[in-house]
Structure 1
Amino acid sequence: MSTEITVSTKIIHDLQKLHQQRATGELVITSNQSASQWQLYFYLGRLVFATGGIHPVRQWHRAFRHHCPNTYKSGWLTKVKPTSKLWQADILTQAIQQEQITTVQAKAVVQSIIQEVVFGFVEQKTLEIRWQPSQPIAQQTAFLSVDQIIQEAQKLRQEWRSAGLGHLQEFVPQFSPDLAPIIKDPALLAAKTSPTVNANLTKLMQGKRTLWDVALKMNQPLYTVIRSLLPLIRQGIIELKEIPDLPFPYPAIEQRKFSCSPKKKGLIACIDDSPIIGQTVKQILQPLGYEVLSITNPLEGFVTLLDNKPDLIFLDLIMPHTNGYELCTFLRKTSVFQNTPIIILTGQDTMIDRVRARMVGASEFLAKPPEKTKLLHIVQKYLEVNKTKPANIPINASFLSSPA
């Protein structure tokens, strides 16, 4: 039996257990491959909401805009104030109570989000699953049966394979529908497509919409859109790039109160005179359980490093009054940081730079601005090298042996 089948079968088994035991709480699913995380919320064994992945805010806006267009355009979302942990579900409840949307629309939003969430983890090679019993969440309108979830996941997976997309990652590394298509060769695109198709693709594929967004805009299944784009991707006419999630929609509320707080995995320092780089690293790593210490003044920040003793250091190469080579040499001469992984952040990735970095004790290079996939790869390489997970799914869930 393949790893993929083992993972899918295990998830189905655990969902059925939750249903049988009429459990209420949160199922947290974490990918060891991509470090992404998803949350499924249950009430008496029925699924009532889900969220997670790398674009939870974009995911929410996409579903609400599609199924509740009038409310979305009215500006009501800018006036509502969520108060519970799961802000998306709280907004749906308030929208129904204020007669902004119908229960049918609310259920459609929930189903749409759950489909995306399930798609996000169902094809992962290795997963960790953790069950957290808790109080019911606010959303009590849309109840999905476990059988329905399983059937939809299996149908989606079969459609994906039937479209010839089962081995997509073999030629599109780290493929995800959360990537955004952008046209790299407009002249060749114009030569390969009709004027109408060329105009439509040029409008849709500017690197601002994910493949999920494009599929919804085109009113086509995701697998159909990707299959039609594959020849253009293979020819280098269209490229897939990472884009950030939409901003958290309620800045007056601290986002960390509404997100799942995974166990802290380690402290990472980012030494860069640009606060934007530090913020980028935080946005990528903090939701996954890492603590990030941003230092913009390297000379004054040395005391901060000594006080906190980070597990890994990202170090900018070019800074005022010093540079990454000098600071790396200084850190390596300090007993506290002799064995700490130090990653040079730079846009100067030449053979000479790499040799010089090795000579002063740097562990590796990372281009600026840091891309999420490459950043996660380095962090996992140096901080989780001794925490490699087996191919099966480790479960830490009391519900597998006792009633909820």
Structure 2
Amino acid sequence: MVDPIEAQTQSTTSTKSNVSAAKALHEIAKKKLSGQLTIRDPNVDSIYWRIYVGNGQVLYAGSIGGQQERFRYLLQQNCPQLEFSQLEKPQSDYQYLCQCWQSGRLSLQQVRQLLFLLSQEAILHTLTLPEVQLGFDKKIGLDPLLLSASLQQTVAPLQNSINQWKQLQVDIPSPFHRPFIKELEKFAQAVYQRKTGKPQQIDFLTQTLSQNYCLYEVATKLKMDILKLAIFLQPLIRADIIGMNPYRSSQNDNRPIVACIDDSKTVQRNVKLILESSGYRVIEIMEPARALTTLVRDKPSLVLMDISMPEIDGYELCRMLRLSSALKEVPIVMLTGRDGLVDRIRARMVGATSYVTKPFQPQQLLSVVNELVNSSQIEAS
């Protein structure tokens, strides 16, 4: 597998699980790279961190997934005078702050300071992850560019907080996890014994922890620093009084589904990293013989399919999907190392909608997926 940082001359996203975020950032600063570093914790679904860099400098860092909850908390902590309204899709927290500057709600100096503080907080959490999957894309994708800070300047003040979050990692995998009360009576007793606050404050804490909020939301409601909140909750988690749920469950996951049928783990990881960090849910199918049952059950918005697979090749599987009444209208994109005209014609003849040659650039794959998914949604409505 290609190291995504060492392969800086390629415009393709690769993943690697045994390279730490710290090492990746060090290499970026050392080699003065420009682009986007996407960081995923394989143990936390649907949350990605993205660090934008230019010439080795930090331009911005934020989260993909959980953006509203995190941004609201950070604004309350760092800029409480700013009246926050909901982010609108496809608006990001970065775009929101740029608009605040352009509209005169915040000065350029205030926006730069906020961007720096938000970036610090994001990088802090990437540096606490024990295992990561990394992707690097040479396209920066920020406009306008308002911040440029050295990695040393950004990370040096964070060391104490990084160490504290690392100690919390076993019990609190991420600030997006959702705490809930498992034993109400034991919780009330434990909080009372710790003399946390007045009865009405304890009642408010109990109510807040009963709303299925993530840690960012709980900290916002309590107007409390999230690290202090996590430290407060940790002994209650270890005593089995508080439980922790992941940020998002499959029951309320309304992201468009993309099925990837490919027997290569490397391709599956790359596709997942590119698409899930852009708002899709990716279903990995390693055995093409079982694809039909999975696709009918999960009803994807689009299917990515390798041509060269054991048991059933992509051409035959594509033909089978087109015979299914439930799947005949689903866009199918063939992923293949073959780039001949005959292969493209054959793919079209069996019903493929489009064709992407491996290795593909992240933006190339994303553009094809966005176009086909949007088109199919418009036709469906």
Whether 1:225 and 2:252 are equivalent positions in the alignment is no
What letter is aligned with 2:189?
A
2: CA distance between counterparts of 1:11 and 1:155?
21
Aligned 1:2-401 pairs, distance under 5 A: 7=20, 9-18=22-31, 21=32, 23-34=33-44, 36-73=47-84, 75=85, 87-134=92-139, 137-160=142-165, 165=167, 168-169=169-170, 172=171, 175-194=173-192, 195-244=199-248, 266-267=260-261, 287=276, 291=282, 310=291, 313=294
Return the offset for 1:227: 2.1
1: CA distance between counterparts of 2:153 and 2:293?
44
Instruction: List runs of 5+ in structure 1 lacking aligned partners.
Output: 246-254, 257-263, 269-282, 294-305, 317-334, 338-395, 397-404
CA-to-partner distance for each residue in 1:36-57, whole Å, 9 max, x for gaps? 5322112343222222354133
Return the offset for 1:147: 0.8
2: CA distance between counterparts of 1:218 and 1:63?
13
What letter is aligned with 1:155?
N
Instruction: Please say if residues 39 and 134 of structure 2, whose CA atoms lie closer than 8 Å, have aligned partners that are also in contact.
Output: yes
Aligned residue-pair number: 259
Instruction: Please say if residues 204 and 214 of structure 1, whose CA atoms lie closer than 8 Å, have aligned partners that are also in contact.
Output: yes
1: CA distance between counterparts of 2:248 and 2:148?
31
Match of 2:173, SS? coil
2: CA distance between counterparts of 1:104 and 1:192?
45
Return the offset for 1:93: 1.4
Return the offset for 1:312: 7.9
Instruction: Please say if residues 177 and 247 of structure 2, whose CA atoms lie closer than 8 Å, have aligned partners that are also in contact.
Output: yes
Change (3 A) 1:127 1:266: same
Give the aligned CA root-mean-square deviation in angstroms.
Answer: 4.4
Match of 2:217, SS? helix
Instruction: Please say if residues 48 and 143 of structure 1, whose CA atoms lie closer than 8 Å, have aligned partners that are also in contact.
Output: yes
Identity %: 17
Instruction: List runs of 5+ in structure 2 lacking aligned partners.
Output: 1-16, 193-198, 250-254, 263-271, 298-310, 314-360, 362-381
What letter is aligned with 1:60?
F
Q: TM-score normalised to the size of structure 1? A: 0.51
Match of 1:181, SS? strand
CA-to-partner distance for each residue in 1:186-208, whole Å, 9 max, x for gaps? 22323333325522321321233
1: CA distance between counterparts of 2:75 and 2:224?
18
Instruction: Please say if residues 59 and 145 of structure 2, whose CA atoms lie closer than 8 Å, have aligned partners that are also in contact.
Output: yes
2: CA distance between counterparts of 1:216 and 1:139?
29
1: CA distance between counterparts of 2:221 and 2:132?
31
Instruction: Please say if residues 53 and 140 of structure 2, whose CA atoms lie closer than 8 Å, have aligned partners that are also in contact.
Output: no
Return the offset for 1:125: 3.1
Match of 1:72, SS? coil
2: CA distance between counterparts of 1:207 and 1:285?
32
